[in-house]
Amino acid sequence: MGAWKSYRLRVERRRFLVRAIRKRRDLRLVANRTKRIKPGDILLFSTLRNEAVRLPYFLQYYRDLGVNHFLIVDNDSTDGSLDYLADQSDVSLWTTRRSYKRARFGVDWLNWLQMRYAHDHWSLVVDPDEFFIYPFCDTRPLRALTDWLDASSIRSFSAMLLDMYPKGRLDAQPYRAGQDPLEIANWFDAGNYTIRRNDYYGNLWIQGGPRSRVFFRDMPDKAPALNKVPLVKWNWRYAYVSSTHMLLPRGLNRVYDEWGGEKASGALLHTKFLDTFTEKAMEELKRKQHYAASLEYRTYAARLKDEPDLWCKWSERYINWRQLEILGLMSKGNWA
Amino acid sequence: MSVGIVMLVHTALGRAEQVARHWNAAGCPVVIHIDKSVPAKTHNAFVAALSDLDDVRFGRRHRCEWGTWGIVAATQDAAERMLEAFPDVTHVYLTSGSCLPLRPVQELIDYLKARPRTDFVESATTADVPWTVGGLDHERFTLRFPFSWRKHRYLFDKYVEFQRRVGFKRRIPDGIVPHMGSQWWCLTRRTLSSILQDPRRPVLDRYFKRVWIPDECYFQTLARQYSLNIESRSLTLSKFDFQGKPHIFYDDHLQLLRRSDCFVARKIWAHADRLYDAFLTDSAGAMNKTEPNPGKIDRLFAKAVERRTRGRAGLYMQSRFPNEGWENGVTAGRYSVFQGFAELFDDFKPWLARATGTRVHGHLFAPERAEFADSQSVMNGALSDCAILRDYNPKGFLTNLIWNTRGERQCFSIGPRDNQAINWDIAKDPNAQISVISGAWAVPLFQSNRDFADIRKEAALLQKIENDFLDVLHSPYVKARIRIWTMAEFVESPMEPLQTVIDEITQKTARRLSEAPRMVDLAGFGQFLQNLKNQGMHPYLMGDFPVEQTVPTRHGSPPKPYLVR
């Protein structure tokens, strides 16, 4: 990397940080329990809107995994999410009515909170419909992973987004609060992902899965990115660039091996496709607060009317992380 | 007699306390060294917590940074303390705070009692060890290392380079033959005291202080000077990964550790409650006697290293995206590519499937869609037949298909009408077997009933495309197994080339082909080519077809498949 490019990237990173500092004014504090954060705690950051039905299971899942504190930005929920979260003893909560889009889809808000609270902590950034899995997650808590990453001098951990969907119509099985969404959406695409390298930020750009196969088959370049780096040993100088797809400094995006070996990686099981999805797609369509003028949601809405089944004969039913390891979607690397 | 335990501790003091109590309960005196970087408060609490035990002592504190002299100094002081304070100690076992005794302590004591003169220390000459990190083996002993490898890697590397260039060499003290090995040893009182009381010790210490990673060579080298009987292995189970740092054991390794024949394991994750509960019990409950099978542990960790350094061939994923040439296998398995066969033979697909038992697709890169076997619209791994998706990343499509169907050989057709984007990828892939009948693209044109001007135009285009592909196949970078016949050549005697290709796919079944695919009727093909020539086009890739028919003519009803014996 030349000096000029290195300089440009540094300027860009600083710009993101300044932006994050500026956007802190969007946030109104609801519950600040960050005093309870102890050195070495694992923190979870999330932005959400109207996810009340998902929250009980979401919080439970990550508590069981070993997350110590949740830092959540609520973007103008109207379904009681705010009150529910404010009551949780391990949640610090902010709320905002400002534009999600103008905060670069929430990235600025979280960058600010991370800068403020996550320095020197392992920080996990996920949406309420994303469930983080990693090698040995059924027998080893998240702390085992972060300890191992620390011991191996690894600062960032990749977890590709894996879209999960039910068999049959999306609205066939209603989701109840507290339920494991994987009971309903437990199918996924095992081997239709394509990868490109983004030479500017040094990350991989992964696309594919059911969204490419069904919604974006005519414009695959517009299909959503599935590469994510949600778990990072945070430093206040770091900044996410676009969602958690990539971050700066770009060394943190080097979560893949280029010389034939496999680094350890996990997956984010994305349980977006529940019965709540159709409604959500319609609402987001009106709000136009999502990436590329909500193209994703527009395409969904158009396709979903006539063909709401993402399942196909070669869909794979989710069993556990070992299955994903064997299928080559994630890897143990040299963690044994 | 008894066995003295020297413990080097720097984190997870709670666990260290548990383990110290366990050793002590079995009658082993313990000397603990606590890293100087542990805060005074934590240190004092730890010392106070162990104050109820009689046979626990604490060594003088040193700062133990990895790869530096501190660890050796700490060990020396603690060992001296041990020998002084506990005169009936016959063996001293060096452990760390994250070590865990796997077998009842009494078994260790009995084992050592039966071998009173044996020193267990892994000790090999530098020429014989493969595990050195950073390529420094003998140079550890002949260069100087004033800079920290962890904190000032750049200076470290530069200074090593500088010394190499200048030709700097330290003199190794007389009589010393450098040996290296695992840091965790068990030495007899005799050997250990000889090392510690050596009159030359100041000289030797001064020398080893500047050696890189002295904890892996100080005792290992000096034990060779005094020991009567060295058994060059460590009693501590310790596995290292490709960067030379120890693998960590977790709760789910419990069954594996039960089958180890080592006395102590390192390193244990501090929060592995199940392991600590299972192994730190009284000797009655400690071991449900299982047959030792240490090979299983070796395999597990060897595989982890292999996965990290070489990975799975043909896999492209979020944490493995090899640069070109570093894939160690562009694709995950063997596959066969046919050009021109489906055009020349009517029933090539079903015939090939019957003859080889493989999965036979049509033109996977056809402009309309990927023609998967059995006309499926989606294949293994939910791979879509959509042409736009496929052409978005043709190489990814191919590597995905081969990865998704690993264990089952794939065959497919390509042709000059198809997307040509993968030409180089398959040509450079040792897993590919490419068979080409050049010029066979003319057959469908010959059979078609289109305007001759169109046919002529298309023929020119297809010929050019195929010619480009043949150029690729003739390049010196090719790694695939390639066979090319002109159509004329092939039609002359089709069975022989078919047999060769099939034999290669089925790995030489001695069986001769009993059934040939049905060739299309080529009567008039020579004339067709002549017509193209008459229109100013020059078809040459199919070889020489005389205008008059000399190929086996098939008048009347299409002939039955013939048998070849």
Alpha-carbon distance A117 to nearest alpha carbon in chain B (angstroms): 25
Tokens found for residue A85 = 């979260």
Q: What would the mean pLDDT of A252-276 be, rounded to a whole number?
A: 93
A190 vs B contacts (CB less than 8 Å): 380-382, 404
Q: Choose the mutation target among B319, B321, B326, B374 for the interface with A, i.e. most A CBs under 10 Å.
A: B319
pLDDT in tens, B304-334: 999 999 999 999 999 999 998 888 889 999 9
Residue A283 pLDDT > 80:
no
CB contact under 8 A, B381 and A192: yes
CB contact under 8 A, B382 and A316: yes
Interface of A with B in 49-88 (CB under 8 A): none
CA pair distance B481, B473, nearest whole angstrom: 10
Three-state SS at B9? strand
In a domain, A207, yes or no: yes
| Cross-chain CB nearest to B311 (options A136, A227, A262) | A262
Q: Which domain holds residue A131?
A: 3-327
| Cross-chain CB nearest to B318 (options A191, A261, A265) | A265
B242 vs A contacts (CB less than 8 Å): 334
Split at pLDDT 50, 70, 90, the class of A162 is very high
* pLDDT score for B556: 46
In a domain, A93, yes or no: yes
CB contact under 8 A, B380 and A139: no
Tokens found for residue B510 = 């001695």
Query: Which one has a higher pLDDT value, A139 or A297?
Result: A139
Per the CB < 8 A criterion, the answer to whether A120 and B236 are in contact is no
CB contact under 8 A, A158 and B308: no
Per the CB < 8 A criterion, the answer to whether A52 and A81 are in contact is yes
| Cross-chain CB nearest to A315 (options B300, B304, B382) | B382
Q: At what angle do helices B13-25 and B40-49 cross, to 10 degrees?
A: 20
Query: Residue A317: closest CA among chain B residues belongs to which residue?
Result: B381
Alpha-carbon distance A176 to nearest alpha carbon in chain B (angstroms): 29
Using alpha carbons, select from A241, A247, A296, A288 the residue that is nearest to residue A107: A241
In a domain, B521, yes or no: yes
CA pair distance A70, A92, nearest whole angstrom: 6
CB contact under 8 A, A191 and B311: no
CB contact under 8 A, B389 and A212: yes
Report the alpha-carbon angle A69-A74-A79, nearest 5: 115
ipTM: 0.92
Q: Which long-range contacts (CB under 8 A, 24 or more apart) does B247-253 make?
A: B247/A336, B247/B301, B247/B304, B248/A147, B248/A148, B248/A151, B249/B100, B249/B275, B250/A136, B250/A139, B250/A140, B250/A144, B250/B275, B251/A139, B251/A140, B251/B275, B252/A136, B252/A139, B252/A140
CA pair distance A47, A94, nearest whole angstrom: 9
Query: Residue B376: closest CA among chain A residues belongs to which residue?
Result: A313
* pLDDT score for A210: 92
CA pair distance B291, B370, nearest whole angstrom: 54
Query: Residue A226: closest CA among chain B residues belongs to which residue?
Result: B318
Q: Which domain holds residue B450?
A: 335-534
Query: Residue A146: closest CA among chain B residues belongs to which residue?
Result: B269
B299 vs A contacts (CB less than 8 Å): none
* pLDDT score for A227: 94
pLDDT in tens, A90-108: 999 999 988 888 888 889 9
In a domain, A40, yes or no: yes
Alpha-carbon dihedral A212, A215, A219, A224, rounded to 10 degrees: -50
CB contact under 8 A, A330 and B323: no
CB contact under 8 A, B319 and A257: yes
Alpha-carbon distance A19 to nearest alpha carbon in chain B (angstroms): 29
CB contact under 8 A, A259 and B379: no
Using alpha carbons, select from B145, B182, B173 the residue that is nearest to residue B160: B145
In a domain, B472, yes or no: yes
Is A11 exposed, middle or buried, given 0-12, 13-18 or 19+ CB atoms closer than 10 A?
exposed
pLDDT in tens, A19-30: 999 989 888 999
Per the CB < 8 A criterion, the answer to whether A316 and B383 are in contact is no
In a domain, A103, yes or no: yes
- Give the count of beta carbons closer than 10 Å to the beta carbon of residue A29: 9
| Cross-chain CB nearest to B381 (options A191, A219, A333) | A191
In a domain, A336, yes or no: no
A255 vs B contacts (CB less than 8 Å): 318-319
Query: Residue B395: closest CA among chain A residues belongs to which residue?
Result: A194
| Cross-chain CB nearest to B393 (options A194, A218, A330) | A194
Domains: count for chain A: 1
In a domain, B398, yes or no: yes
Domains: count for chain B: 1
CA pair distance B554, A226, nearest whole angstrom: 57
| Cross-chain CB nearest to B307 (options A139, A227, A331) | A331
- Find the radius of gyration of the CA atoms of chain A: 19
pLDDT in tens, B524-561: 888 888 888 888 888 888 888 887 655 554 444 544 55
pLDDT in tens, A25-66: 888 999 999 999 999 999 999 999 989 999 999 999 999 999
Q: Choose the mutation target among A195, A216, A313 for the interface with B, i.e. most B CBs under 10 Å.
A: A195
Report the alpha-carbon angle A259-A262-A267, nearest 5: 140
| Cross-chain CB nearest to B318 (options A160, A315, A332) | A160
Interface of A with B in 149-168 (CB under 8 A): 151-152, 158-160
User: To the nearest whole percent, how much of chain A has pLDDT over 70?
Assistant: 96
Three-class secondary structure assignment of B446-483: HHCCCCHHHHHHHHHHHHHHHHHHHHHHCCCCCCCEEE
DSSP B140-164: GGTS---S-TTT-HHHHHHHHHHHH
Using alpha carbons, select from B317, B281, B246 the residue that is nearest to residue B26: B281
The number of CA neighbours under 13 Å toward the Cβ of B26 is: 26
A148 vs B contacts (CB less than 8 Å): 248
* Omega before residue B395 within 30° of 0, cis: no
Using alpha carbons, select from B166, B125, B163 the residue that is nearest to residue B145: B163
Q: What would the mean pLDDT of A287-308 be, rounded to a whole number?
A: 68
Strand partners, A195: A206
Per-residue b or e along A196-216, where b marks 16 or more CB atoms closer than 10 Å to that residue's CB: eeeeebbbbebbbbbbbbbbb
CB contact under 8 A, A195 and B380: no
Contacts of A35 (CB under 8 A, 6+ apart): none
* pLDDT score for B216: 87
Residue B443 belongs to what H/E stretch? helix B442-447
CB contact under 8 A, A220 and B389: yes
Mean residue pLDDT of chain A comes to 90
CA pair distance B53, B22, nearest whole angstrom: 11
* Omega before residue A249 within 30° of 0, cis: yes
* pLDDT score for B65: 83
* pLDDT score for A269: 96
CB contact under 8 A, B245 and A152: yes
B379 vs A contacts (CB less than 8 Å): 314
Report the alpha-carbon angle A275-A278-A284, nearest 5: 130
Alpha-carbon distance B549 to nearest alpha carbon in chain A (angstroms): 48
In a domain, A334, yes or no: no
- Give the count of beta carbons closer than 10 Å to the beta carbon of residue A41: 17
Look-up of token digits 């949740």: A70
In a domain, A332, yes or no: no
Alpha-carbon distance A326 to nearest alpha carbon in chain B (angstroms): 10
CA pair distance B237, B217, nearest whole angstrom: 18
Residue B531 belongs to what H/E stretch? helix B525-534
Per the CB < 8 A criterion, the answer to whether B403 and B395 are in contact is no
In a domain, B441, yes or no: yes
In a domain, B119, yes or no: no
Give me the phi and psi of A310, to 5 degrees please.
-90, -10
Per the CB < 8 A criterion, the answer to whether B281 and A159 are in contact is no
Whole-model pTM: value is 0.89
pLDDT tens digits in sequence order for chain B, 565 residues long:
789 999 999 988 999 999 999 999 989 999 999 999 999 999 999 999 999 988 899 989 999 888 788 999 999 999 999 999 999 999 999 999 899 998 888 889 999 999 999 999 988 887 776 665 556 777 888 888 888 777 888 888 888 889 888 888 888 888 888 888 888 999 999 999 999 999 999 999 999 988 888 888 899 999 998 888 888 888 888 888 877 788 899 999 998 888 888 889 988 999 999 999 988 886 555 555 566 677 788 888 889 999 999 999 999 999 999 998 888 889 999 999 999 999 999 999 999 998 888 999 999 999 999 999 999 999 999 999 999 999 999 999 999 999 999 989 999 999 999 999 999 999 999 999 999 999 999 999 999 888 888 899 999 999 999 999 999 999 999 999 999 999 998 988 888 889 888 888 887 665 677 778 888 888 888 888 888 888 888 888 888 888 765 555 444 454 455 554 4
Q: What would the mean pLDDT of A111-136 be, rounded to a whole number?
A: 95
CB contact under 8 A, A259 and B243: no
**CATH number (domain holding residue B511):** 3.40.50
> What type of residue is B559?
P
Residue A224 pLDDT > 70:
yes
Query: Which one has a higher pLDDT value, A331 or B325?
Result: A331
Alpha helices in B316-385 (DSSP H): 341-344, 348-356
